Homo-oligomer: A and B are copies of this chain.
Amino acid sequence: MGLKRRTLLAAGVGAATGAGLSAPALAQGAPETRWRLACAYPKSLDNLYGACEAVARIVAEASEGRFQIQVQAPGEPVPAEGVIDAVSAGTVEMGYGPASLGASRDPTFALASAMPFGLNARGQNAWWHQGGAADVFAEVFARNGVACLPCGNTGAQMGGWFRREIKSAADLNGLKIRIDGLGAQVLAKFGAVPQTVAGPDIYGALDSKALDAAEWIGPYDDERLGLQKVAPIYHYPGFWEGGSVLHLWIGAERWKALPKPYQAMLRAAAAQAGADVQAKYDARNPAALRRLVAGGAQLRPFPQEVMETALKHANDVYAKLAEKSPDFRRAYDALRTFRNEEYLWFQVAEYTYDNFMIRARARG
């Protein structure tokens, strides 16, 4: 494979070489590489920010410190919503965040992360790696100057925090709710008024009644915001994110130029860190949910009528987007076909097993 020695040291990040990484004692075959990774999540979302740190640690270990990735929190200097743009422009070599961050460039991006009534976490992963989705999206991503590695999933999210219980579709009419993306478009069809509010500002907005409701992630992350104190009705499921994928973004040209061994390390590191994101949520959400309920959160499923109407609205939203964008249509059709097959199978062994286990647990 004999790689040419080459340095991709980005200007101004020489200091990132860091302590604790002594120079290898022997001459090395792979070139020293220093990349920056702009993370869309602050350190307080420690599972997601931690995924970036894990990727950096794994490739550093595997490369004996020759491939270094410096993780940057939002605003240092790339803003959260600008992560994919910054990677596309080459401002940073890598980014981390959901594909939906690219939806303003092309609505097709969102489908790589999650869509209302899309696949669950396992289904989305199967679709990407073995169901042809990676190919469906590759063209759209390449046109936008980025390459993409899935790296983690939140699992099915919660529907969020509501000051009053949603008992019917009519209760969503006029509701000021913090939500964005395709979920916001679906809720707007109920007459809801989607709002953009940054995480740290949600509590105050609910407290001052500037907001009636806010969706965030799931128990483990939601707990930090303390929303049960100001909007105690905790609805589920977040039908707009049944299994939301996080992605690593890499400048398309930089990815192509990255030595093959480093590509292999990065792919494997994304898988390892990504599996850990899911495992952390699955391991930590239960206790967080218990604490939230003990602290006043009231768990409520969305009424069946709301779910069914939302599905209808979602299908209308997709039909409109597919009319405008052939890429969206292609990705959406592929996802729909895969979803139909996947749930055919999941309902047999997987769902029957979980169903029995959940009922057995409830009986003690």
Contacts and interface: CB of A to CB of B under 8 A. Distances in A.
Given A25-B2, A120-B357, A349 B238 contact: yes
Given A62-B261, A353-B156, A2 B26 contact: yes
Interface stretch (A101-109, A196-204, A265-273): A265-273
Contacts of A236: 348-349, 352
Interface in A276-330: 276, 278-280, 282-287, 289-290, 299, 301, 307-308, 311
A256 interface: no
Contact of A64 (B3, B130, B340, B341): B3
B345 A286 contact: yes
Given A25-B3, A130-B283, A283-B127, A121 B122 contact: yes
Contacts of A15: none
A24 interface: yes
A61 to B, nearest CB: 4
Contacts of A311: 360
Contacts of A239: 353, 356
A242 B348 contact: no
13 contacts: A1-B24, A25-B29, A58-B267, A62-B264, A122-B279, A125-B278, A125-B282, A126-B283, A130-B280, A239-B356, A271-B272, A275-B275, A289-B345
